Amino acid sequence: MNKFTVIDMFSGCGGLSRGFIDAGFEVLLGVDIDTAALQTFEYNHKGAIGFKGNLFDKDIIQKIDKAIKHSKVDVIIGGPPCQGFSLTGKRQEDDERNRLFLSMVEAVKYFRPKAFILENVPSLATLYDGKVKDAILKEFGSLGYKINFKVLYAPDYGIPQIRKRIFFVGLLSGEDFAFPSPTTLPEHYLSCEQAISDLPSLEESIGKDIAEYQSLPQSDYQSSMRANSSTLLNHVGTSHTELVKSVIRQVPEGGNYRDLPEGVGESRKFNDAWTRYHSKKPARTIDTGHRNHFHYKWDRVPTVRESARLQSFPDDFKFFGNKTQQYRQVGNAVPPLLGYHLAKQLLGYLE
C-alpha cells in the first residue's frame, strides 16, 4: 500500500515531520529559509527534499510543486514563525510574519490535501482578541475544510518537557477531528533524569560531536531514544567561566535566580534566569537559546543532545550547523513524539 504523502512548510529541522515518518507517512519535502536547518532536515528525512525558499514569494507554491514533480500531496503540515504571535515576541499586530500562515492557505488551496495541521504557540488563540485564530478558521474554512483546534501539553504524551502548543487540524472530508488522548498520567510524567541520566557528565572535557555511550540506558525512554543509534551525536558541552560555574553551583535543583544569595547572578534577572532543571520533573520549555537553563546535576547548560532528548528527538537524529544553530533548531521544533501521536490519530481519518 502506498504511504500518505506530506509536505512540511516552515519545516525547520523537521521535528513534526519526523513524527509523521515514524507514524508511517512519506515526507516529500520540507521548505524553510534556514540553510543549516534544511541540511539537518534532509539528512534525517531520507528521500525528502530540503527546499530553501521564501514563503513570501508569490511563486513559491508552484516551485514546491515542481520540486516534488507534481506528486499528489495528502497532508500539509507546518508551524508559521511564532515571533509575531508569541508572548516572548514583540506581539505587533501588523508584524508581517503574522500573515505567513496565508502561504500555507495558498498551499492548501493549490494541492487540496485530505488534511492539514497548523501548529503554533497557545497564545495565538487569544491574541489581538482572537483575530489571528479567526483568520485561520475563516481562510481555511472557505476552502471547504472542517477545522478543530486544541492546545496539547507535551508531558501528556510521554515527552519529558513542559511545553504547550496549539494545533489546528483541518479535514477535507468534513469530519470533526478527535485529538489523540493522553498516553501518560500526571503522576507518571517523564522526568529529566529518566530522559538524560545515561549521557556523559562532560565534567572532565566538553566532549565531541561524535562520541561513545559510557553507560547502559537507565529507563525505557532512554532505551527507545537509543534504539537506532550506536554512537552519541551532538553531545558537546559549553566551556563556562569560573564565575558562571560558581553561580550555577549555588542554584538548588529546580531553582532559579530567586534562590541565589543577594548580589550573586545580578546580571540576569527574569523568569527563566539561572534555572536549574529538577531531576524528578519534566524540563522547562526548551527554547532557541541555551544560556538560562542548567543541568539538574552538572554545573553547565544542557548539550544539544540533552535538549534534543528532552524534545523527544531520537539519538540517531543528527543536527548540523554550528552549536548556536543546532540549539535553535531543537528549540524551534515540534517534539517528534507529539507529531507521531497526531499523525497516528490522523491516519484513522485518511484510510
Whether 82 is a known active-site residue: answer yes
Which DSSP letter does residue 81 get?
A: -
Instruction: Return the residue matching grid coordinates 528549540.
Output: 331
Residues 6+ apart with CB under 8 A from 219: 194, 195, 197, 198
What angle, 0 to 180 degrees and rounded to 10, lies between the N-to-C axes of helices 35-44 and 323-332? Answer: 70
Residues 6+ apart with CB under 8 A from 254: 276, 277, 278, 281, 296
Q: Which of 13, 48, 82, 125 is catalytic?
A: 82
Q: Which three cell numbers stand for residue 131?
A: 483575530
Instruction: Return the residue matching grid coordinates 502548543.
Output: 165
Report how far apart, in Å, the C-alpha atoms of 158 and of each of 215, 220, 243, 278, 289 are: 23, 11, 36, 17, 24
Q: Taking phi first (over 0 means left), then psi (-120 to 50 degrees means alpha), and beta for anything else, what does residue 252 get?
A: beta
Known catalytic residues are 82
